[in-house]
Chain A
Amino acid sequence: MASSKKNHKADSFPKDGPVDTSRRNLIKGAGMVGVAALGTSAENIIAQESSKERNINTMISREALEVLTADEAETLEAICGCLIPSDENGPGAFEARAAHYIDKSLASHNKSARDYYMVSLDAINQYSKKTRGNAFHRLIDDHQFSILSAVQEDKVPGCSPNGSDFFNIVRNHTIDGTFCDPYYGGNQNFVGWDMLNYPGIRLSASETDVAQGPDLTPNHQSAYDHDTYTKMVINGSMNQRGGQSDA
């Protein structure tokens, strides 16, 4: 049951389709697949005209798809964006690169969920084309929300293991990818931790730190900004802040 509240706005282009240049759809176009497609679609040419979008492209310039296909990644990116929207309250799963995290995790810890994603993302896209005449990631927000609600309510045929279980899996993984240590490829630039006003990893928390509560300034530290936990301590270049993920 998604909020009926609009996240931010596509009012000028309410129609589903490839010419939707709303803020979020521009971002969508610049996602994991957008990089590969850079310069090949009208959408991305438009995207490049905005310095904001260029920043996003820079941010994700070293993402590779390890498990998902380009189509699957686009669908997943859009689902993550529905679950934790980028809206008037700030960045969401997109900026955190939750979908990138999920793709990487399907090659490692979440391997057992790989089939669920392949089958369900395909089922969701097919349902989208059948009921709305377009790929899921091309739909306007309200239509994406209603389809995702249908997945959650088990009303989209063909999901694996079933709609509501897949919904819970992708919801959990999107949360993991938005709020995990940035090492894993999500929570990029600490947007997830900032969302919760989590002040960051401290190897020691003083009574003064704790007393400050919400007033404590986030330090934007990953666990792996600390030499102790970085596997290649001798390689100083490994010790850079946050954002970039390691293979």
Chain B
Amino acid sequence: MPKKLPKTDVVIVGMGAAGGVAALPLTNAGLKVIGIEAGGWLSPRDFAPDELRNGARNWPQSVQKAASEAPTVRANSNQKAVQGGHPMMNAVGGTTMHYWAQSWRLNPWDFKVVSATRDRYGADRIPTGSTVEDWPFGYDELEPFYEKVEFAVGISGQAGNVKGKINAAGNVFEGERQSEYPMRPLRTSPFTELMTNAAQRLDWSPFQGPAAITSELYDGRPPCQYHGFCNKGGCHVQAKSSTAFTTIPKAIDTGNLDVVTYARVTNIVTDNDGKVTGVDYLRGSEEFFQPADVVLMASYAYENVRLLQLSKSRSFPDGLSNNNGQVGKHYLSHHQGSPVIALFPEDLHNWYGLPAQGVAIDDWADDNFDHSDLDFIGGANLWAHTDRKPIGAAKMSTFGRASNWGSDWKKFIMDNADKTNTAYIQKTTLPYEGNYLDLDPQVKDPLGFPVTRITASYRENETRIAEFSQNMMEKWYREAGATEIIRTGLGGAMSASTHAYGGTRMGNNSETNVVDRWGFSHEVPNLGVLGASVMGTSGARNPTLTVQALSWRTSEHLVANWQSIVG
């Protein structure tokens, strides 16, 4: 029998991007919170600028619970699923430790894809087989929470629309904001200036994207030093606004948050009335039961879904909160692949700089352009950014100009190491019938529990956006002077992704959604779900800020409605 611990008000499973933010409004309101985290604490001494360790070796200092339960992947149900890698890590702060830290608000269109498409182009333009729904609320309802998170964690950027006032230096397509960003954008670089000038010649609207990275002294943290080891690396001066250095320490300071490290939650426990009573977890070989009035699930999308599917009980024989069969449905991996790679005649000066230091184009994203004569809806955010490292440079494409080893290859990489760039293109991705997460019938994690199985593929709408956005990206690179361009494939199976959405989708209709408009289960009143697993559309940009705004909102809702939720 697991050792029963004293009861707490709220248990949060996972102290990452979502749980790390949710803890702050709860503890500020005086609720006692226990955060259970599979990883441990890392400090800036662990964040060496070491490409091999961070990139190729996947940062061994982080506890790779996630790696031990990596999902299996197949494009459709006729195939056998194969296990690959897991894109996330485990630590206090989760993947906000080593992410690129791009911190976008979604475009207002992303909240109402169905109705906006129907109104502008006709209902028949919703892609066949898509299960997409409008969100249960619009951008305006999330706006105050975006703002709270931007200030609480610290986001740098250039606003393009403050209270309706358009500023062409920022994103002119963004939804209306109530305030400027708390910090100015990260600095430009010779390469971002090259790309900005090219975009302006094309009459596009380039702007510097928002980042959870300090551009100036903020909240006691120094500004970014631009040394360039953000990607799969932590920040040596804490300029990256990871929850481990922002909201989590603040929540601990209230005296109301205890973080339990190196603990694996194995089961969400339910009583005979269908309410959750707490969680079982393993720490080393010891088993514990942590009782709580409310459980908030804040692992990554795959683990949120898997834990629900594994937590079977008399009240929920097919998995917790799954009596309507919606857990694992409406899954999507963000289409962020299909990059375009360019070769320039001159050095780009990209040995220093970071992935979030870049220039964005939103002219071809969301519904920012007329789709009347196109065969898809949505679009892509084009991102040209700095970030070059020696091993990555040596493994670059040779654009058909050299073989891939020997003297001619060596000469090629010597001449071109700092002359190539790979664009990051994030595309609108929709949920479809036949794309889902379930438990793999064969592959198990080291504890003997089945891993998640991803059955999903991109469909025509996504591959058409990919082709369209590659055209635009190529045009942009060529305008900037690129002499060679490589386009990669348009997309097939949806592999395990750093941007995984759905599986516990949010919506008013309990027949098609797992959680309600506040993030609480339709079936289990005291169970909340945080993370991109509640999101029904991806937008054309990184999800983290939206995940954090939703988490803050769910926490405030819990504080305001404690009695009715706890019952």
- A-to-B contact residues, CB < 8 Å: 1-3, 5, 7, 82-85, 87, 89-90, 92, 109, 145, 148, 171-172, 175-176, 178-181, 183-184, 192-193, 195-199, 201-207, 209-214, 216, 223-224, 228-229
Contact = CB atoms under 8 A, between A and B. Distances in A.
B169 interface: no
A175 B395 contact: yes
Given A3-B407, A89-B410, A181-B52, A203 B227 contact: yes
B391 interface: yes
B406 A83 contact: yes
A180 B52 contact: yes
Contacts of A228: 44-45, 48, 236
A89 B407 contact: yes
8 smallest CB-CB distances across A and B, nearest first, come from A205-B352, A2-B406, A204-B225, A196-B417, A3-B408, A213-B349, A179-B390, A229-B48
Nearest to B53: A181
Contacts of A3: 403, 406-409
A207 B111 CA distance: 39
Interface in B336-350: 347-349
A210 B409 contact: no
Contact of B228 (A83, A171, A205, A214): A205
B51 A214 contact: no
Nearest to A6: B407
B216 to A, nearest CB: 15
Contacts of A178: 394
B390 A192 contact: yes
A196 B190 contact: no
A102 to B, nearest CB: 12
A89 B414 contact: yes
Contacts, number: 130
Nearest to A93: B410
Interface string B59-90: 01000000000000000000000000000000
Contacts of B49: 201, 203, 223
B168 interface: no
A204 B45 CA distance: 16
B417 to A, nearest CB: 4
Give the most central of B228, B351, B352, B393: most A CB within 10 Å: B351
B518 to A, nearest CB: 44
Contacts of B228: 205
A195 B414 contact: yes
B115 interface: no
Given A176-B52, A202-B352, A213-B347, A197 B410 contact: no
Give the most central of A92, A145, A207, A212: most B CB within 10 Å: A207
A180 to B, nearest CB: 4
A172 B408 contact: no
Given A178-B394, A204-B225, A223-B50, A145 B404 contact: no
B367 interface: no
Given A203-B225, A207-B187, A211-B349, A85 B391 contact: no
A85 B406 contact: yes
Contacts of A216: 351
B406 A145 contact: yes
A89 B225 contact: no
Nearest to B411: A89
Nearest to A1: B403
A176 B55 CA distance: 11
B410 A195 contact: yes
A209 B408 CA distance: 30
Interface in B211-250: 225-228, 236
Contacts of A203: 49, 225, 227, 236
Given A175-B395, A210-B226, A229-B48, A92 B410 contact: yes
A179 to B, nearest CB: 4
A202 B227 contact: yes
B352 A82 contact: no
Give the most central of B57, B352, B404, B417: most A CB within 10 Å: B352
B138 to A, nearest CB: 41
Nearest to A209: B352
B110 interface: no
B418 A214 contact: yes
21 contacts: A3-B406, A3-B407, A5-B408, A83-B405, A84-B410, A87-B410, A176-B52, A176-B56, A178-B394, A179-B391, A181-B50, A181-B52, A196-B393, A196-B417, A197-B414, A198-B393, A202-B352, A203-B225, A205-B226, A205-B353, A214-B347
Contacts of A148: 405
Contacts of A224: 48
Contact of B390 (A145, A196, A204): A196
Nearest to A90: B414
A180 B57 CA distance: 12
B189 interface: yes
A193 to B, nearest CB: 6
B413 interface: yes
Contacts of B226: 204-206, 210
A113 to B, nearest CB: 12
Interface in B435-484: none
Contacts of B190: 210-211, 213
A212 B190 CA distance: 10
A96 B228 CA distance: 24
Nearest to A221: B49
B394 A175 contact: yes
A211 B351 CA distance: 11
Given A210-B353, A228-B45, A181 B408 contact: no
B406 to A, nearest CB: 4
Contacts of A197: 414, 417-418
Contacts of B391: 175-176, 179-180
A171 B405 contact: yes
Contacts of A85: 406-407, 410
Contacts of B408: 3, 5
Contacts of B409: 3
B479 to A, nearest CB: 21
Contact of A2 (B50, B52, B403): B403
A193 B57 CA distance: 19
A65 B432 CA distance: 54
